[in-house]
Amino acid sequence: MKNEDLEEKRVVLHVDMDYFFAQIEERENPRFRGKPLIVGADPKKGAGRGVVSTCNYEARKYGIKSGMPISRSYKLCPEGVFLPVNMPLYKRVSSSIFQIIEKETEKIERVSLDEAYLDLTKKVKNLKEAESIGKKIKEKIKRKEDLTCSVGVGKNKMMAKIACEEAKPDGIKVIFPKDSSKVILKKSVEIIPGIGIKRKKEIENYLKKKDVTVADAKKIKKENLEKIFGKLGKEFYWKFRGVDCEKVGEKKETKSKGKEYTFQKDTYDPKKIIKIFRYLVFQTIKEVGKQKVKGVVVTCRFEDFETHTKQTSFPLKFYKKKVLYKKGVSLLLHLITKTKKRIRLLGFRLILER
């Protein structure tokens, strides 16, 4: 099989910082160490309306998670330390960390502020050697920034990421090629990159079974996966077998800039909605400056937390403030005209040319 030949020879390393924003806050404020610490919107004693960005592991014991309403996290842990997001600081730390990582290879894929894949195929003879590089990266990050990360090594991006998840926190793990397909079998199908709650449900519906594992999903024929997931079906078929041909750097981080606003009170007042929407659009346009724009994304979260997004892309020449605003408004109308629900949050984002 051609696909498999290509990937057997690769060595991929995945680095991901542990509880990134919260760990930086702990470093800045050592007195909070050991206490549950939540980074995100102001909880306002439980009346706050934003979300949790992340939290440390002590806070996770209370069931707090990224993306959860901050009010809920406050109910789960009112004695927690709640801190606002200090993005400029996290960005500075991120670029300092990437300076370390970039010394190891040019073949890097930056996934987000705290996460990257490295293709070490040409740098090392085997996975054990990659593990040494991983240890070196961990030590350097600890020494320079006093922060911990986790590292995974595998024969492809998927296996490196799964290894890294298993190494968390502050660990390092290698999954050798011969073990790759075996180690994923008993795990929930959600460990497969690209399979989230929705796709897991589709697989469960197809198999008429709950809590499907990779072993369950592996029983589905390639043609049937293609029927369920279209073009992605074939990719999933191979991923269930530990095979992932995606190259490091292939899936570039989409560059985008945007703003969100959570209303003080859920609203359907068109005046309020349009006023905030205009603000989000023109603030974003100002921040984007002269960068080329490829698309527009509008997000709308309703009073019951149901969240919808709609997006459109267009040729680069389209960049004009008024056009972007009009595009945004038409997407927003699509999202809100069919519903009678009040709006909780609005978001506007521009996809940028890299």
Give the end-to-end CA distance of the chain in Å, rounded to a whole number.
34
Q: Which residue among the candidates 25, 26, 115, 131 is catalytic per the annotation?
A: 115
Q: Which residues of 311-334 are buried (b: 16+ CB within 10 A; e: fewer)?
A: eeeeeeeebeeeebbebbeebbee
Residue 170 and residue 148 in contact, taking contact as beta carbons nearer than 8 Å: yes
One character per residue 150-179, x = contact with ligand DCP (rule: CB under 6 A): ------------------xx----------
Please, which contacts does 124-133 make with residues 24 or more away whose CB atoms are closer than 8 Å?
A: 124/11, 126/11, 127/11, 127/153, 127/154, 127/155, 127/174, 127/176, 127/177, 128/174, 130/11, 130/13, 130/174, 131/172, 131/174, 133/13, 133/104
Residue 151 and residue 18 in contact, taking contact as beta carbons nearer than 8 Å: no
Q: How far is the CB of 136 from Ca ion (least distance, A)?
A: 19
Q: Which helix (H) or strand (E) holds 124?
A: none
Which pair of tokens denotes residue 89? 């600081």
Chosen residue from 36, 38, 53, 242 binding ligand DCP by CB under 6 A: 53
Residue found under tokens 């809100």: 336
Q: How far is the CB of 180 from ligand DCP (least distance, A)?
A: 22
Chosen residue from 16, 119, 131, 246 binding Ca ion by CB under 5 A: 16
Beta bridge partners of 38: 55, 82
How far apart CA 26 and CA 145 sit, in angstroms, is: 12
54 vs 73, which CB is nearer to ligand DCP?
Answer: 54
Interface with ligand DCP, residue 67, by CB under 6 A: yes
Residue 194 falls in which region: left (phi positive, over 0), alpha (psi -120 to 50) or beta: left
One character per residue 76-115, x = contact with Ca ion (rule: CB under 5 A): --------------------------------------xx
Interface with ligand DCP, residue 82, by CB under 6 A: no
Asked if 115 is an active-site residue, the reply is: yes
Sole window of 12-20, 180-188, 246-254, 326-334 interacting with ligand DCP (rule: CB under 6 A): 12-20
Interface with Ca ion, residue 26, by CB under 5 A: no
Radius of gyration for the alpha carbons in the chain, expressed in angstroms and rounded: 22
195 vs 217, which CB is nearer to ligand DCP?
Answer: 195
20 vs 90, which CB is nearer to Ca ion?
Answer: 20
65 vs 334, which CB is nearer to ligand DCP?
Answer: 65
279-298 positions binding ligand DCP, by CB under 6 A: none
Q: How far is the CB of 60 from ligand DCP (least distance, A)?
A: 8
Chain contacts with Ca ion (rule: CB under 5 A): 16-17, 20, 114-115
Residues that bind ligand DCP (CB under 6 A): 16-21, 53-54, 66-67, 114-115, 168-169
